[in-house]
């Protein structure tokens, strides 16, 4: 049984139709990269899955058809959506951001925090700083750290390395690879093929809201 199944997904912004009958199957443990030029509907696809935008069509997760989805509801089901830019809560401290990642988890998160800090030592140094004072790259890493705290089944990540230096981008790519190895299914959206070639197992190409190529 696939982890995530999309069938005939349509989405519009106002009068413009952005997704045209998109269908996709993602298995447990997959790492899917979604490529396409800007405006192709990649971000919209992730938003449609997490319920950030309205869409019509079928979305099935863990065998269950989900009708009205909301980001917070999906997060509680184990689907973490990292929007463009990381979605850090700028007013809160780094530590608070990470703790927030574990909001959907029961029990304490102290050990998970330790793991995140091991992976991203720089976040530990700045743990009491406001997230808004971090650089763009650091905020991306913070977002990943938060996602790790949430221990999601499925991670939807929107342009995880955009605008970052190649070295940082590679580090993010390898982090995602590690996460995937540990069992998190990942759907990553990207404009360039760098991350896809490096870490993903499958690639999908979107053009003007249509799936034009799948592996």
Partner 1 sequence: MAGFAAHVVTGLASGGIYALLALGLVLTHRSTRTLNFAQGELATLSAFVCWALTAHGWAFWPAFGVTVLLSFGGGFALHGVVIRPVEGGSPVGVVLLTVGLLLAINGLDAWIWGAGAKHVHDPFSTATVHVAGGALSKQSLWTAGVALAVSLVVGALLARTKLGLGLRAAATSPVEARFAGVPVGALVATAWGLAAAVGAVAGVLASPTFGLEPNMMRTVLLYAFAAALLGGLRSPLAAVVGGFALGVALELLDAYVHWIDGVLRPPVAFALVLTLLLARPGRLVGPERWAA
Alpha carbon separation from 61 to 74, 75, 77, 158, 185 (Å, rounded): 10, 12, 9, 19, 12
Closest approach of partner 1 to the CB of residue 103, in Å: 5
Using alpha carbons only, give the angle 201, 84, 10 rounded to the nearest 5 degrees: 75
Residue 139 or 196: the one with the smaller Cβ distance to partner 1 is 139
Closest approach of partner 1 to the CB of residue 52, in Å: 8
- Which residues pair with residue 206 across a beta bridge? 211
Q: Is 82:143 a contact under the CB 8 Å cutoff?
A: yes
Question: Closest Cα to residue 186, out of 163, 162, 202?
Answer: 202
Q: Is 209:40 a contact under the CB 8 Å cutoff?
A: yes
Q: Rounded to an integer, what distance in angstroms lies between the CA atom of residue 102 and that of residue 100?
A: 5
Residue 36 or 101: the one with the smaller Cβ distance to partner 1 is 101
Residue 53 or 211: the one with the smaller Cβ distance to partner 1 is 53
Closest approach of partner 1 to the CB of residue 48, in Å: 14
Residue 159 or 209: the one with the smaller Cβ distance to partner 1 is 159
- Residues at the contact surface with partner 1, assessed by CB under 8 A: 50, 70-72, 75-76, 80-83, 87-92, 96, 99-101, 103-104, 130, 132, 146, 150
Closest approach of partner 1 to the CB of residue 212, in Å: 29
Residue 22 or 82: the one with the smaller Cβ distance to partner 1 is 82
Closest approach of partner 1 to the CB of residue 89, in Å: 4
């Amino acid at each position: 049984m696939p982890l995530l199944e999309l069938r005939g997904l349509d989405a519009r912004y106002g009068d413009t139709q952005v997704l045209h009958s998109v269908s996709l199957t993602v298995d447990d443990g997959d790492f899917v990269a979604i490529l396409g030029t800007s405006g192709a509907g990649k971000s919209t696809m992730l938003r449609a899955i997490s319920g950030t935008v309205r869409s019509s069509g079928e979305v099935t997760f863990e065998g269950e058809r989900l009708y009205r989805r909301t980001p917070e509801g999906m997060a509680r089901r184990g689907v973490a959506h990292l929007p463009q830019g990381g979605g850090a809560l700028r007013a809160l401290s780094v530590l608070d951001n990470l703790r927030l990642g574990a909001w959907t988890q029961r029990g304490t998160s102290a050990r998970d925090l330790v793991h995140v800090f091991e992976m991203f030592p720089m976040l530990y140094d700045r743990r009491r700083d406001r997230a808004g004072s971090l650089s763009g790259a650091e905020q991306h890493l913070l977002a990943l750290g938060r996602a790790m705290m949430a221990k999601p089944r499925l991670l939807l990540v929107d342009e995880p390395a955009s605008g970052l230096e190649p070295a940082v981008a590679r580090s993010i790519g390898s982090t995602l690879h590690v996460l995937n190895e540990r069992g998190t299914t990942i759907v990553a959206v990207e404009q360039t093929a760098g991350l896809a070639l490096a870490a993903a197992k499958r690639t999908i190409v979107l053009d003007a809201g249509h799936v034009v190529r799948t592996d």
